[in-house]
Amino acid sequence: MLGLSPSPLVSVDCFSVLNCPSDARTLGCFSNHTTGYDTGIISAVLVYLDNDLGKVLNSGEKELITSITSGGAFIGAIAAGLTADRFGRKGAIYMGCFLFIIGAILQASSYSLAQMTVGRLVVGFGVGSAAMIVPLYIAEVAPAKYRGRMIGLDNMSITGGQLISYGIGAALAKVDHGWRAMVVCSPFIFLLRKRLTFE
């Protein structure tokens, strides 16, 4: 009406979800599975810890290793913006994946409350980083018409990761020291994502 040409992204009608850039499509489906997994698996881990950390944990200590992840996520989300501006969106996403791996290794090898707490804190950094950067990256590369749908898939992947964590927790319930295998499964989700994303 004002003589302005329509935005190229708005005027394109031939896109479908399957025609979205592969980075956006894959991130929308898999990106936050690791976040969901790490926040969900702790509910099973706490049940089977017994005295593997040197003693039977009391309620306050269990609350510590559960809530420290949320504190780490707060810090990770703030730091992720700076990382993304300096190293790019993909670099920040890989940094978050690296944090997930380090956190999982620290937890799986824990024999003390202090090491388990540090592992959960590092995982929290990764959770905050993923929550900050992945939706931003998807919003930048996905076609405008399907941007919201991709963000929705990203959010759905969190609950999908939690569902997977509950299944793995149940499967390893009867295994001696099975909680260590539960927490170390998280990097395998990362490896799947790395294979499917940014190729």
Instruction: Judge whether 10 lies within some domain.
Output: no
The predicted pLDDT at position 45 comes to 92
The predicted pLDDT at position 83 comes to 86
Per residue in 84-115, pLDDT (tens digit) is 888 888 788 888 888 888 999 999 999 999 99
Cα separation values, 60 from 35, 69, 70, Å: 24, 15, 16
Instruction: Judge whether 36 lies within some domain.
Output: yes
pLDDT beneath 50: ranges in the chain: 1-20, 28, 196-199
34 within 8 A of 162, measured Cβ to Cβ? no
Instruction: Judge whether 121 lies within some domain.
Output: yes
Whole-prediction pTM? 0.79
Instruction: Judge whether 1 lies within some domain.
Output: no
Structural domains of the chain, count: 1
The predicted pLDDT at position 90 comes to 79
The predicted pLDDT at position 25 comes to 52
Instruction: Judge whether 15 lies within some domain.
Output: no
Q: How far apart are CA 124 and CA 96, in angstroms?
A: 10
Instruction: Judge whether 9 lies within some domain.
Output: no
Instruction: Judge whether 93 lies within some domain.
Output: yes
Instruction: Judge whether 8 lies within some domain.
Output: no
The closest of 158, 24, 140 to 84, measured between CA atoms, is: 140
Q: How far apart are CA 151 and CA 182, in angstroms?
A: 28
Show the domain range for 158: 21-196
What CATH number has the domain bearing residue 123?
1.20.1250.20
